[in-house]
Structure 1
Amino acid sequence: MYYEQARNFIYKNARPLDIARWKYMFDNGSKEDILIALTAYQNEDGGFGNALESDCWNPNSSPVQTWVATEIIKEINLNDKNHPIIQGILNYLWSGKDFDGHTWSNTVVTNNDYPHAPWWSFETSQEISYNPTACFIGFILKFAEKNSELFEVACTLAKEAYSYFKTHFPMESMHTVSCFVELYEYIKESSINELLDIEEFNILLHKQIQHVITYDTSKWTVDYVCKPSLFIRAKTSDFYIQNKEICDYECEFILNTQESDGTWGITWSWTDYPEQWNISKNWWKSDLIIKNISYIKAIRS
């Protein structure tokens, strides 16, 4: 592996947030530096914007950008319920902004005012999506006070989400599936397994994951495809053993497709805003470096 080249690319091209992530994971950096950098993307309402999601340059808070913040919180295993970033996110989710009583919006109208990938364009007629709602439900179940109204609402939403999942099983959207995997993991971590039929959920997710993974690996280098790492980030995952072969293959694939500058190819692009896309593409390369190397370390350890 071109480890040094990857490291050099991060330090030359990445955002301060991703440099802090790299340092924390691979160079003995601190969790606090990540949180300081992450705070720069948080707005007064507690939500996140400001291109935290690199395909969306909207400075206003939106669910999908706030979801990215929850992913970083999960990545560094921040469990302090009273941390200002976590409390801010809970306040945003509880405010009712971008929430219809059942799901948080996948896109928001102000996205259209700023450079963005076409999939983040807002359209007036939107289908129900549990991306990123299923993740938010799990986040609330983990971090909200158990006697709060917000927690009670999340319990109701979890049951609604699971009913939707079973009704629409098997799903075709890999990102929505990954959100349900996270909901499952949040529920298990929070030891509230009685909320849903957790054993049934586990069985269905095993089938669902295998339904959406792209097993035609010839497409992996050229198309935006579904790889196991979207759902399985460690050997401790409930879904690792049954998917061990394809997980191990992804490790080999990662090692064999790294470019000489330490990066990996980005398999998507924007049609508009080419100048901003060139910047975002570098941000994504840095993110992919971090995720790929952490995946290899976790699966091969």
Structure 2
Amino acid sequence: MNLLMKYLSKEQIEAIDHYIMHEARPVDRAFYLYRQGKGSAEDVIQALQSYQNQDGGFGHALEPDSRLTESSVLNTTIAFQFLSRLPVNGDHQMVQKGLNYLIQQYNATHGTWPIVPAAINQVPRAPWWNVNEETGETSFEKTPGNPAAEILGYFQHYRKYIPLRILEQIQSSVMKRWDEIDEWEMHEVQCYYRLAELTNNEEIRARIIRKMRQNVNEIFLLTKKQWAGYGLQPMVIVKEENSPLYSVLEGVVEENHQWFSSQLEKAGYWKPGWEWGQYPKEWEQAKKEWCSYITVMACF
């Protein structure tokens, strides 16, 4: 059971349900209903279709901080966060097209993906997605495990449909990066944890979990004062008692879930803990979409 559910009152749960049914994005609502046994996986896929482009990638602000209609690796990984949790095989057309898009975007020379295209500079966006026109880079190239580790997780999840040569090359570079990390960036950590959850390679999983257990004090925000700011809270990773990190964070995790339950708005949603500081009209729309995504994903 999701630990958060222990700390939500009946009234809060009812408010969340009402909010999702009336205000959430269709894709988030479909996923919520599916996880509750009230909807189908096909409903989620149908909702995702409006985000997938002809090239197989996903766009259209599935990740709300990028208002680009064109495909991006960023938005495509968000799509796979949904797809990988559905009983959908790699031969499904949506999955196949998405995997092919990610393969085509892979830079084999550098072992990396362009997380967003330069075209993002032409649309409203969060400032951290700005692309340097000369180098084609954002600030995320310094932490290449985001998105490489997460993508490796999807490739291993659907490994039957990924060329072995590509799979082995990506695995080598991703795990080399993991062994080298000595400064922790929250998004990169989450990508590696998703890999640990998705992989059927027990050695990879063990290496990731072992290093995370050894570095919990550096990886996570551990106090209420810190939780009011921006960073990786334990509850984002440790959602259930059977999590491999629960035993080393038990007291803090329980307190974090309890604290997070107290942050629920009366209308039944959680707000993002960041702002763009630009494009105020578009940010308001993105903020609404983030409330939807954050609230649904917090429940599972």
**Shorter-chain TM-score range:** 0.7 to 0.9
- 1:280 paired with 2:295, answer no
After TM superposition, give the deviation of residue 184 of structure 1 in Å: 2.4
SS in 1 for 2:174: helix
Does the alignment pair 1:202 with 2:217?
no
Q: 1:229 to 1:98 in 2, by over 3 A?
A: farther
Following superposition, the deviation at residue 130 of structure 1 comes to: 1.8
> Could you list the runs of 5+ residues in structure 2 that have no partner in the other structure?
1-8
Compare 201-210 and 155-164 and name the one that shifted more: 201-210
Q: What's the offset of the Cα at 1:25?
A: 2.5
Match of 2:149 among 123, 134, 148: 134
Q: Do residues 234 (structure 1) and 203 (structure 2) align?
A: no
Match of 2:21 among 7, 11, 16: 11
Shift of 1:250: 2.0
Q: Who is 1:218 aligned against?
A: 225
**Quick one: distance in 1 between partners of 2:250 and 2:55?**
42
Aligned to 2:197: 185
Pairwise CA distance, 1:143: 0.5
Is 1:292 aligned with 2:298?
A: yes
- Aligned residue runs from structure 1 range 88-107, under 5 A: 88-96=97-105, 101-107=110-116
Q: Is the 8 A contact 1:177 1:209 kept in 2?
A: no
Q: Give the Cα–Cα distance (whole angstroms) in 2 for the partners of residues 142 and 36 of structure 1.
A: 21
| Residue 167 (str. 1) matches residue 173 (str. 2) | no
Question: Which position in structure 2 is the counterpart of 1:299?
Answer: none
2:4 is matched with which residue?
Answer: none
Identity of aligned residues (%): 26
Partners of 1:209 and 1:60 in 2: CA distance? 37
Kept after mapping to 1: 8 A contact 2:271/2:290: no
Counterpart-to-counterpart distance in 2, 1:22 and 1:201: 29
Q: 1:23 and 1:93 mapped to 2: Cα distance?
A: 28
- Provide the C-alpha distance between the structure 2 equivalents of 1:28 and 1:287, rounded to a whole number of angstroms: 18
Do the aligned residues in 2 keep the contact of 1:213 with 1:227 (CA within 8 Å)? yes
Higher relative contact order (CA 8 A, sep 6+): 2
Shift of 1:101: 4.5
- Mapped partners of 1:208, 1:183: distance in 2: 18
Q: C-alpha root-mean-square deviation of aligned residues, in Å?
A: 2.1
Aligned partners of 1:17 and 1:37 also within 8 Å? yes
Distance (whole Å) between structure 2 residues aligned to residue 96 and residue 289 of structure 1: 31
* Whole-angstrom CA distance in 2 between matches of 1:200 and 1:3: 37
Which residue identity lines up with residue 166 of structure 2 in the other structure?
Answer: V
SS at match of 1:95: helix
CA distance in 1, matches of 2:272, 2:198: 29
Displacement of 1:57 after TM fit?
A: 0.8
Partner of 2:3: none
Deviation, 1:252, is 0.7
Q: How many residues align?
A: 284
Aligned position for 2:46 = 36
> Which blocks of at least 5 consecutive residues in structure 1 are unaligned?
295-301
Cα deviation, residue 144, structure 1: 3.0
